[in-house]
């Protein structure tokens, strides 16, 4: 029986410069931030990031790790515009592929099903078709309709954060929405799942109904036990968003010194230290 448990650093060691990496979650919700931080601390470069983006995208832009971002939006939810992503777009430091949210989903599904595209109506008439000349239309052989041929978005790796997982890589989602984590996993060559707690397979039942075990080990290659691994994004029902720290993070986009001190305190730290800080910050005991 394969034990897939890894550390964040082990995951980074499996990644290469120039890879296309999908990141699960949605906006500032259940993002695999501990693995993202390990990327930020690494020498990896020239990454293409595919995401319903939040601070994962913002941080990868702010540190120059992202060369290209494929997104439907990038938002911090309670702070609608992600300031580090905005700066990267406005300064022209990243390449962008901006898609309709549904098209992004369809591109992942096409990759999951190993077809080169899937048709949709979304995108027709919009600026997406002008801003992304690589996206073509296709004429239906059945009724002659000309539809968007959303190209597959194959991923070299997917990074996800779940509430629970077992050591073999089955992952359990206890919040109300697992977003598109399953599609990211299926679209990727290799998938790494961090989780709040690793449990025995028999332990899932006491956490939630069987249908909360959304991702099968068929699609996963590594499991990282990462308590507070989504912090400061939310990971309900384990914890909510750390709004105070998110505000502090957002404010650093216009202040290089503030960004450096944020980075020193919240990124360039060993994970055990981070967990202590996160727990204290969530309970309001630390600034």
Partner 1 sequence: MTRVSLAETCVVACAEAWRGDGEILASPIGLIPTLGSRLAALTFEPDLVYTDGDAFQLAAPQASDASSDASKAIEAWMPFAKMFDVVWAGKRHVMMGATQVDRFGNQNIACIGPWAKPKAQLLGVRGAPGNTVNHTTSYFIPQHSARVFVEAVDCVSGVGYDRVALAGPAAGKFHEIRCVVTNLAVLDFETPDHSMRIRSLHPGVTADAVQAATGFPLIVPPDVIETRAPTDEDLRLVRELLDPKSLRDAELGT
Q: State which residue, 138 or 198, has the beta carbon closest to partner 1.
A: 138
C-alpha–C-alpha distance, residues 27 and 233, integer Å: 8
- Nearest distance from C-beta of residue 184 to partner 1, angstroms: 12
**From candidates 33, 71, 152, 171, binder to partner 1 by CB under 8 A:** 71
3-state SS of 202-225? Answer: HHHHHCCCHHHCCECHHHCCEEEE
Q: Per CB under 8 A, which region of 110-118, 120-128, 160-168, 249-257 contacts partner 1?
A: 120-128
Q: What sign results for the dihedral spanned by CA atoms 274, 277, 283, 287?
A: negative
Our finding on whether 121 is near partner 1 (CB under 8 A) is: yes
Calculated CA dihedral for residues 136, 137, 138, 142, nearest 10 degrees:
160
Q: How far is the CB of 252 from partner 1 (least distance, A)?
A: 17
Q: Is 105 buried (19+), middle (13-18) or exposed (0-12) by CB count in 10 A?
A: buried
Alpha-carbon span 208 to 174, nearest angstrom: 7
Verify binding: residue 210, partner 1, rule CB under 8 A: no
* 127-135, 161-169, 263-271, 279-287 -> range binding partner 1 (CB under 8 A): 127-135
Closest distance of CB 142 from partner 1, Å: 12
Half-sphere exposure of 138 (CA within 13 A, CB side): 16
Q: Least distance from C-beta 166 to partner 1, angstroms? A: 23
Q: What mask of x and - would describe binding to partner 1 in positions 13 to 42, judged by CB under 8 A?
A: -------------x----------------
Contact residue for partner 1 among 1, 2, 142, 176 (CB under 8 A): 176
Nearer to partner 1, 97 or 193 (CB): 97
- When asked if residue 209 is in the footprint of partner 1 (CB under 8 A), the reply is no
CB of 4 to partner 1, least distance (A): 26
Question: Please, which residue, 18 or 240, has the CB nearer to partner 1?
Answer: 240
Distance between CA atoms of 71 and 12, rounded to whole angstroms?
A: 22
- Residue number with CB closer to partner 1 (11 or 245): 245
Report, in angstroms and rounded to the nearest whole number, the Rg of the chain calculated over CA atoms: 19
Binding-site string for partner 1 from residue 73 to residue 112, where x marks contact by CB under 8 A and - marks none: xxx----xx---xx--xx-x-----xxxxxx-x-------
The verdict on 120 binding partner 1 (CB under 8 A) reads yes
Q: What is the rounded CA–CA span in Å between residue 37 and residue 231?
A: 11
- Percent of the chain as helix, strand, coil, to the nearest 5: 35, 25, 40
Is the CB of residue 193 less than 8 Å from the CB of residue 48? no
Min separation Cβ 239 and partner 1, Å: 13
Tell whether residue 284 is a contact of partner 1 (CB under 8 A): no
């Amino acid at each position: 029986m394969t034990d897939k448990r890894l550390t964040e650093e082990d995951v980074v060691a499996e990644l290469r410069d120039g890879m296309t990496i999908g990141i699960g979650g949605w906006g500032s919700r259940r993002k695999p931030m501990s693995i993202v931080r390990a990327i930020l601390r690494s020498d990896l470069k020239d990454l293409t990031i595919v995401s319903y983006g939040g601070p994962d995208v913002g941080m990868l832009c702010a540190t120059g790790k992202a060369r290209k971002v494929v997104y439907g939006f990038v938002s911090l939810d309670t702070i609608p515009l992600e300031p580090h992503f905005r700066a990267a777009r406005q300064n022209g430091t990243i390449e962008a592929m901006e898609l309709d949210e549904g098209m992004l989903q369809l591109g992942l599904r096409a990759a999951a099903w190993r077809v080169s595209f899937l048709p949709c109506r979304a995108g027709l008439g919009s600026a997406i078709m002008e801003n992304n000349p690589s996206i073509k239309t296709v004429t239906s052989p059945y009724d002659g309709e000309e539809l968007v041929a959303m190209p597959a978005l194959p991923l070299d790796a997917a990074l996800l954060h779940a509430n629970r997982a077992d050591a073999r890589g089955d992952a359990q989602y206890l919040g109300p929405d697992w977003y598109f984590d399953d599609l990211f996993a299926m679209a990727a060559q290799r998938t790494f799942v961090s989780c709040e707690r690793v449990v025995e397979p028999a332990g899932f039942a006491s956490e939630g109904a069987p249908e909360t075990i959304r991702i099968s080990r068929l699609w996963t290659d590594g499991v990282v036990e990462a308590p507070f691994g989504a912090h400061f994004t939310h990971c309900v029902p384990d914890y909510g968003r750390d709004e105070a720290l998110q505000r502090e993070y957002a404010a650093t986009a216009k202040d290089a010194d503030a960004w450096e001190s944020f980075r020193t305190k919240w990124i360039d730290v060993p994970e055990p230290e981070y967990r202590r800080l996160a727990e204290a910050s969530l309970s309001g005991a630390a600034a």
